[in-house]
Structure 1
């Protein structure tokens, strides 16, 4: 492949993108010393050419025949004129992906050629902000957790280190209008490209990245419109809000709090999560789940672009099958969400409680784990009272922040928790606790809920424990937690759990969404995380994936036979993921997927209809088994 020996200019590398318009400009600047090619035949050579080809590209991998998406270097890859035409159609918003850490490297060695990228000021910014969620969200293609990018091109003190594209998409449409999204869907469908829908990059299982893909970034869709009384369709006639695909939790709740009177919306617990896209399509859980169910339960209507490139509305009357599937049936599976209309609820005063047991309280592991056992023993009591709790569990650290009492006075929450505190004291468990009354849930949310840390590399699994599991086998659940913490002798204290105590059926016993029915009897949904060292070999990655699936998650499932898994925060490689993620809803979801996307324009791992698709050749090409 020809080399592009150019520079990006000050500040461009920090933007992690390079527009096709800039590419055209630089290609014409030979008099300025740029070694670029003309926008005609030269770029055609650069991009690998484009001629007609079968819908799928024949490929053999490990003795198995596949039909694959089209990638750079294949005869079917779109021509230079096609990419330039797409850029024109999307009003110049087609950009070339450059990883966020490229400013710290002398060059970016991308699939389109080599570009000089080092910029000291931009490198300092990337180094300082690489762990900041909001900084990463604003990048066109960045993934907040880097494992599925192949941990490529991180900030470094050694600029000579290689910087490659890894598993990022080649091009990104930074969509500003719904027509831009349609253009991207049409282009991917007509050229058999792998298509990624990316909003915030808040993604544990690699759905926001994809080797060689075209990415559609929906984050600029930030409209928020409150509705005094939703008039249907459906039987709901009260307050609502319509939000664009890019709106995040904190921004939505801030706008909701500014209403007269203030209202509440069911968002995720993390303030940076995009609400309309992956959250609702995966189901969605948050502080209001005990009161109003899953986020998907609050959806009233969607505006979408389908795999066929059609603009449609999906609600109780129009396209009701698509409406149901979009509510928890899997992200990036049926259509691209442009906006969603959701229920809102009266804002209420709330109480927040923090509980800590850590190495400042005790250095005795058995005392610590007895405290964890007692805490979890009362998890059914907590959710039965309509409380919500978020906790983090690692070696010698139980951090419960917060327990949320929506619409509850401090005395009411204290009454629920007092038996837990009494048992702590009776068993000599040292702990600290803090309670506070807030005039609104919004005030509690801003004060007690925290952004997560970006830039880390980890594998993620998880399991939900039902009421019956906690009641009958709490001690077994705690043993599973200990297995997660130290799954193997060489991985002692490496595991991590993020727990969420909520009962999605506490007030919404019958689901109107595609989420797993077992969530209506939930007590603790616990995320399992296992860090992956930067620079891990393929063999190391395969080994750690085996540990996550067959040791950590397996222990959780054995301890909770009445539970299930959650598509947004689970292990997509687990056996029988169809049943674990959706249970009895799966056959209907599969039928709907075949109707709305029969050719697999959309792909997100372990979503309905992806059984025959596989990412082969060491995590690169997306292919269908023949």
Structure 2
């Protein structure tokens, strides 16, 4: 079956064919199709992008399309139906469609709507925001940093074909299953995307026997399965089961989440999602399908468990441990300008709240909170007691309320109990939105720093909010109940085992802002906002899925003592850097030059 690629848009590809030139040999790489560039006094060997002599011809794209069953498409930004024309790198086409524009505009902030699109990034900063929905069709719509081509993969062979094509033609390759990413890893200028969201298989195992010796309940998930779907089906089992997922229900479980680590409400009990992984089926950079576990390719298995999202292979499916669901209880807490406009009083309330972080995690309590969004605003929703009655949770939380009462500040609170954590998850965690543009950073607070100098932590919080940022906090301990003998079996930074609070910092800014404004915002995030948190908790670390990729010493911040081993594994399984995502193992000499566009290797 022929795709739309070779109807209206096929002529664009044909017209865009470039006469082949002599191949360029770059020392250290087998591939000879490199484009040589210079910038800032340095020389670079770059991937092939539209307009380059090595960009595939229309005949080669047609051959790829045939090999993927007609599932290759030229990518058009999701906002394009609101514009008269889309001015893409392969030509200009008419795109205005009033009905589709209305649909995109109405659903722009819906995570699930964005997930189902071919190449949308849920947060738009790294797309360059050049084609957002508009009410003025005569505005300009360009591709920005969205990918050029996309394979909507339906089979393993489709993924293999895409991997082999990108490797042969030296293209920038992006792997996307949901686009649920703060750091722009699901998009990339001049790239080919392999979209794996159609891999929706779910298989439950009553007694799974793993290579690591585990025997117990498990679930095998396709790469595109989202948290809400597997949790719903696990809840329907008898008895109901749980798996470790993030607090956000729309995230894809068997993709970037597990490769980055994967923390959530069950982390106090079982560590990271990566700690619960039993086996992967992956396609490596050589185009081969491999089963990876503690016996088969154990080094790659270790790296895939937290060693860097999109860095080592394409995950086709993954198998994880399942756990019994339990009755649970939750409490909310809100302190904002409706309760006080006195900054001194507000920040003292924040200090009191956060001083209970070690108390909460020591009692296996998970806490999700937001601080600073909209000014004087502490929004805690929820404080979670898994396996606890409401009375037990209230007894743990009551000292906090006693201290707030003694301070004389008012607040709002609610308490609820549920038969299962799944029911709490659906009722007390708030729905997140997509379509916003911001820079994302973050840091973790080590127990020893919170205990030794909590005053410095709160002063850092004040600096974060004063700098125009806000925070999202997650109180948990990834080493609380996971046996110490298990800690080294995943690539997770060892420092995470001593964390009591993982923070996300957000600096709002448009992706289409002037370059000078972007540079100022990035500097503010790296050195003012996150700099304050690093100074307050020198024994903390950073979480690769929710942190500033441009922070100093990112290798140590993300992986600590595990980094040298990850570098070696990357070189073994992906020697030419086919799988690139920013600030992951082995990317030290890779840069996006020419204003963040061309992906190149510094010579």
TM-score range, shorter chain: over 0.9
Q: Is the 8 A contact 1:49 1:80 kept in 2?
A: no
Q: Distance between the aligned counterparts of 1:558 and 1:304, measured in 2? A: 39
1:458 is matched with which residue?
438
Q: Is the 8 A contact 1:219 1:245 kept in 2?
A: yes
1:422-461 → structure 2 map (5 Å cutoff): 422-461=402-441
Superposed CA deviations along residues 311-356 of structure 1, whole A, max 9, x for unmatched, are 0011011110000000000011110000000000011111111111
Query: Runs of 5+ in structure 1 lacking a partner?
Result: 1-18, 28-35, 488-493
2:42 is matched with which residue?
64
Superposed CA deviations along residues 541-569 of structure 1, whole A, max 9, x for unmatched, are 01110000011010000001110000000
Structure 1 residue 97 displacement after superposition: 0.8
Q: Does 1:513 align with 2:495?
A: no
Q: Is the 8 A contact 1:48 1:72 kept in 2?
A: no
Q: Does 1:572 align with 2:554?
A: no
Q: Does 1:305 align with 2:283?
A: yes
2:464 aligned residue (484, 493, 499): 484
Q: Distance between the aligned counterparts of 1:94 and 1:508, measured in 2? A: 44
Bigger mean CA deviation after superposition, 428-437 or 296-305: 428-437
Structure 1 residue 474 displacement after superposition: 1.4
Q: Are residues 472 and 81 of structure 1, via their aligned partners in 2, closer, same or farther at CA, if it must alter by over 3 Å?
A: same
Q: Is the 8 A contact 2:37 2:46 kept in 1?
A: yes
TM-score w.r.t. length of structure 1: 0.93
Superposed CA deviations along residues 204-252 of structure 1, whole A, max 9, x for unmatched, are 1111110000001111111000001011211110000000000111111
Q: Is the 8 A contact 1:195 1:602 kept in 2?
A: yes
1:150-549 → structure 2 map (5 Å cutoff): 150-394=128-372, 395-487=375-467, 494-510=468-484, 511=487, 512-533=489-510, 535-549=512-526
Q: Is the 8 A contact 1:52 1:76 kept in 2?
A: no
Q: Distance between the aligned counterparts of 1:367 and 1:75, measured in 2? A: 64
Runs of at least 4 residues off by over 4 Å = 49-52
Q: Is the 8 A contact 1:20 1:96 kept in 2?
A: no
1:131 aligned residue (101, 106, 109): 109
2:560 is matched with which residue?
583
Q: Does 1:148 align with 2:126?
A: yes
Bigger mean CA deviation after superposition, 450-459 or 326-335: 450-459
Q: Distance between the aligned counterparts of 1:622 and 1:341, measured in 2? A: 33
Q: Is the 8 A contact 1:50 1:79 kept in 2?
A: no
What SS does the corresponding residue of 2:215 show, helix, strand or coil?
Answer: coil
Q: Does 1:53 align with 2:35?
A: no
Q: Distance between the aligned counterparts of 1:62 and 1:214, measured in 2? A: 27
What SS does the corresponding residue of 1:569 show, helix, strand or coil?
Answer: coil
Aligned residues: 590
Q: Does 1:24 align with 2:6?
A: yes
Superposed CA deviations along residues 135-178 of structure 1, whole A, max 9, x for unmatched, are 00000000011000001200111111100000011000011111
Query: Runs of 5+ in structure 2 lacking a partner?
Result: 25-31
Bigger mean CA deviation after superposition, 441-450 or 51-60: 51-60
Bigger mean CA deviation after superposition, 362-371 or 83-92: 362-371
Q: Is the 8 A contact 1:267 1:295 kept in 2?
A: yes
1:491 is matched with which residue?
none
Q: Is the 8 A contact 1:105 1:117 kept in 2?
A: yes
Structure 1 residue 262 displacement after superposition: 1.0
TM-score w.r.t. length of structure 2: 0.96
Structure 1 residue 367 displacement after superposition: 1.4
Q: Does 1:595 align with 2:572?
A: yes
Structure 1 residue 203 displacement after superposition: 0.6
Q: Distance between the aligned counterparts of 1:235 and 1:421, measured in 2? A: 45
